[in-house]
Structure 1
Amino acid sequence: MKFKTVIISLIILFLINSISYSSPEIDAESGLLIDVKSGRILYTLNPHKKLPMASTTKIMTALVALENGKLDEKIKVKKEFVGVEGSSIYIYEGEEISLKDLLYGLMLRSGNDAAMLIADNVAGDTDKFIELMNNKAKEIGALNTNFTNPHGLEDENHYTTAYDLGLITREALKNDDFKEIVSSKSWTADRDKNNYFYNKNKTLWQYEGGDGVKTGYTKRAGRCLVSSATRSGMQLVSIVLNDGNWFNDCYKLLDYGFDNYKPYFLYDEGQFIKNIKVEDGSKEYLPVVTNTSCILPLKEKEKENIKITIDLPEKITPPIKEGKVLGKISVYLNGKLIYASDLISKEEVKELNFFTKLKKSL
């Protein structure tokens, strides 16, 4: 009996390891798993396929509004934005509501009316706001994305990819206000009625460490979901487009990430790299430091295949301001670039005046 128990235990252990280290199978038309801190992509399925994304559009709507609007500003509701098709927070003509409350209504209740009112207020009209959305997409490298509205209702020219949506979400999660909004299970707005917003994103309740981000659904787009979770200091975002098993598949991707990858510290922000020789400057040498930290999600076996390269000039000529970009630090895994950041001057170096240069040469 003991022999059989050992055999069964070994089989179970083998199956668990097999499940953990194999890429998950999902029902989505397109999918992606990305690490927020480093931007490393841990899983893809048709990542560059252009697809409609329904209300996950509102991730960009919120980001653009937060970067260009004022949270405490009160906005008076125009008649034209009352009764917008689809999900609603039921704004009414003449109501005054803050941008902050509108953003909670946008991301928790997926209010299409909130999206239109936000766009009109922040940019002056919706067309200008959509232009801001598309410009922001290009700025962060989401080149296969096109927005035609701020809410995600169906339009054949309104599309993104799982890869682009990963870039957009990662950028949005750098904003503290955005992070706070999407991780909120509920919100009570300063309104006379319809003031309680309950988050539609079940990730916050169902998944350990769940902290965002957005659901979406239309007949054409199918079920779309961007789920975020943080464990042991590592925040991962899973994305599925057109997936009937949307929540479970996002959880599968998150499980895969947390089971197989652990955050691995490579260097800290402000870490000293080397001193560079200064010609004709107020200092003989200038210390160079990193401008960001690097914490990468890695499998245990990947650590030995990491290589870091430093690209810096041998000498520099002033004037050099503190924080000036002087070079690059690049991280490679199996010969492939997976992370890069700037190397900057730690101090200011001034140019020597003519008489000091002359004295020095003599």
Structure 2
Amino acid sequence: MVNETRVYTTRKSENTKETEASEKDKIQEPHGLYAQSAVLMDAKSGRILFEKNGGQKRAMASTTKIMTCILALEYGDLDDVVTASTNAVNQPKVRLGVVEGEKILLRDLLYSLMLESHNDAAVMIAEHIGGSVEGFADMMNQKAQSLGCKNTYFITPNGLDASDKNGGHQTTAEELAQIMKYCIQDSEQAKQFLAISQTEIYHFEDCSHVYKYTCNNHNAFLKMMEGAIAGKTGFTGEAGYCYVGALEQNNKKLIVALLGCGWPNNKGYKWQDTRKLIQYGLDSFEYVMIGKENISKELADIKIPVVNGVPDNGKISGKSYTKVWMKYMEDGENTDSAELEQLLVRKDQKVHLQIVLKKQLYAPVEAKTEVGEIQYLLDGNVVKRQTLIVKNAIERRNYKWCARKTVENFLL
């Protein structure tokens, strides 16, 4: 943040118990997972609540299609007419079974993509939105980069195993969860994405009304746990069984991402891991109101020295200081809006608070200059930050100011 800082104070949140949990009372993390890589994420904050090899790069199979779907929703028109190419027709199973030249509405292809995981539908969508599979892959990678996914690389729109000079078609469990977070919450098309993902059965025809199709949703998680809102399965020989899904219950929104979760004949492993991780999130975490520490009162006692600043007493001699405020405080007023801030915390964990500030400032200082931050820590890791600023501008105490002040004092 800044080169010269000091930790002003450190203490426990008032929302937590006074004593640390004993080893007997300590909550046990999920164990015995089948997945090679697994993540449980708090979708509201994007914070990882649990991970097993969460940053390990692995093939992702048809979980890829959540990115294909969201890009089609963002860059396409649902009433677009999409034509099947030779490349699309020749995709391996699982496929819709289109014939070359067949025309289908984009909206219908998205149900084919998400409910049945059809590989030919994915290629039709990619070629229509990106001009080619390669062009669409570039769009996928650009979107991944914009979401902060540095270990994700897309080559195909359907998730089939592939590699090129830049590496393999792969992601990590952490980044797959991050992409799902974008799809169900952050994208402007999140509502439409959820509507498609939650559809149980969908019927449609091609544009010539010659071919009729029915798509059934294969996401068993939707019926497995109350509050399940989205998900996508996947399997390839390299990736194994994969899954990414989301649930919203009791004001919690949780995402599970699994990679390498068994190989034939262990298709059900992913559902066991998903249930175990989601139940852990529901049972072991609770929201704390991190603003109830009444931080504004604590900040009232903090002042930062301002070198060569106009003295607080308004006289030529004296020292200059500035008070510290939270960035959201309108016009520097102390408000209780911090009480609305919530943090999802495991029940046996303690939230710690520390204030990190610049040791001193140098005049002139502009109003609302950022001078530090409030940090909320769990197990030594910063999980939330709030920016601190100065309220008013501070003039430099120079010859011109001293001369003016001398004249004012003489006149008075």
| TM-score, normalised by the number of residues in structure 2 | 0.67
Which amino acid is the alignment partner of residue 245 of structure 2?
S
Cα distance change on mapping 1:341 and 1:186 into 2, 3 Å: farther
Of residues 172, 184, 187, the one that matches 1:173 is 184
Deviation at 1:115, TM superposition (A): 1.0
8 Å CA contact retained: 1:65, 1:118: yes
Q: Which residue of 2 aligns with 1:152?
A: 159
1:135-194 deviation line (CA, Å, top 9, x unaligned): 111221211111111111111411111111111111222232222222222333354444
Q: Work out which of the two has the higher radius of gyration on C-alpha atoms and give 1 or 2.
A: 2
Q: Which residue of 2 aligns with 1:219?
A: 237
**Unaligned segments of structure 1, at least 5 residues:** 1-16, 278-283, 345-360
**Unaligned segments of structure 2, at least 5 residues:** 1-23, 263-268, 301-321, 324-329, 390-404
8 Å CA contact retained: 1:32, 1:41: yes
Deviation at 1:72, TM superposition (A): 2.6
Paired with 2:375 and 2:230, the residues of 1 have a C-alpha distance of: 30
Question: How many residues are matched?
Answer: 321
1:97-118 deviation line (CA, Å, top 9, x unaligned): 2222212211111111111111
Q: Which residue of 1 aligns with 2:258?
A: 240
8 Å CA contact retained: 1:307, 1:333: no
Q: Which residue of 2 aligns with 1:338?
A: 383
* Residue 248 of structure 2 corresponds to residue 230 of structure 1: yes
Q: Which residue of 1 aligns with 2:314?
A: none
Paired with 2:160 and 2:27, the residues of 1 have a C-alpha distance of: 37
Deviation at 1:286, TM superposition (A): 6.0
The answer to which of 325-334 and 73-82 deviates more is 325-334
Which amino acid is the alignment partner of residue 124 of structure 1?
G
Cα distance change on mapping 1:329 and 1:173 into 2, 3 Å: farther
Q: Which residue of 1 aligns with 2:201?
A: 186
Instruction: Report the secondary structure of 1:173's partner residue.
Output: helix
Which amino acid is the alignment partner of residue 46 of structure 1?
N
Paired with 1:257 and 1:130, the residues of 2 have a C-alpha distance of: 34
Deviation at 1:78, TM superposition (A): 2.9
Deviation at 1:327, TM superposition (A): 8.1
8 Å CA contact retained: 1:90, 1:194: no
Q: Which residue of 2 aligns with 1:12?
A: none
Deviation at 1:125, TM superposition (A): 1.5
* Residue 89 of structure 2 corresponds to residue 44 of structure 1: no
8 Å CA contact retained: 2:93, 2:119: yes
Which amino acid is the alignment partner of residue 343 of structure 2?
L
Q: Which residue of 1 aligns with 2:37?
A: 30
* Residue 224 of structure 2 corresponds to residue 209 of structure 1: no
Paired with 2:346 and 2:177, the residues of 1 have a C-alpha distance of: 21
Cα distance change on mapping 1:234 and 1:86 into 2, 3 Å: same
Paired with 2:370 and 2:213, the residues of 1 have a C-alpha distance of: 48
Q: CA RMSD in A?
A: 3.8
Q: Which residue of 1 aligns with 2:83?
A: 76
Q: Which residue of 2 aligns with 1:354?
A: none
Cα distance change on mapping 1:171 and 1:194 into 2, 3 Å: same
Matches within 5 A, 1:1-362: 21-156=28-163, 157-174=168-185, 175=187, 176=190, 177-191=192-206, 192=209, 193-244=211-262, 245-266=269-290, 285=331, 294-302=341-349, 304-307=350-353, 309=355, 317=366, 330-340=375-385
Which amino acid is the alignment partner of residue 383 of structure 2?
I
Q: Which residue of 2 aligns with 1:7?
A: none
8 Å CA contact retained: 1:40, 1:296: no
Q: Which residue of 1 aligns with 2:309?
A: none
8 Å CA contact retained: 2:87, 2:123: no
Deviation at 1:230, TM superposition (A): 1.3
8 Å CA contact retained: 1:24, 1:253: no
The percent of aligned pairs where both chains have the same amino acid is 31
Which amino acid is the alignment partner of residue 173 of structure 1?
I
| TM-score, normalised by the number of residues in structure 1 | 0.75
8 Å CA contact retained: 1:38, 1:294: no
8 Å CA contact retained: 2:227, 2:247: yes
Cα distance change on mapping 1:64 and 1:294 into 2, 3 Å: farther
Cα distance change on mapping 1:341 and 1:222 into 2, 3 Å: farther
1:321-342 deviation line (CA, Å, top 9, x unaligned): xxx9998664322432113467
Paired with 2:270 and 2:332, the residues of 1 have a C-alpha distance of: 53
Which amino acid is the alignment partner of residue 307 of structure 1?
L
Which amino acid is the alignment partner of residue 88 of structure 1?
R
1:32-70 deviation line (CA, Å, top 9, x unaligned): 111100111111111121111110111221222222222
Cα distance change on mapping 1:111 and 1:342 into 2, 3 Å: farther
Paired with 2:182 and 2:138, the residues of 1 have a C-alpha distance of: 18
Cα distance change on mapping 1:339 and 1:147 into 2, 3 Å: same
Greater RCO between the two (CA within 8 Å, min separation 6)?
Answer: 2
Which amino acid is the alignment partner of residue 277 of structure 2?
L
Cα distance change on mapping 1:100 and 1:300 into 2, 3 Å: same
Paired with 2:105 and 2:36, the residues of 1 have a C-alpha distance of: 37
Cα distance change on mapping 1:50 and 1:209 into 2, 3 Å: same
Cα distance change on mapping 1:85 and 1:38 into 2, 3 Å: same
Which amino acid is the alignment partner of residue 181 of structure 1?
I
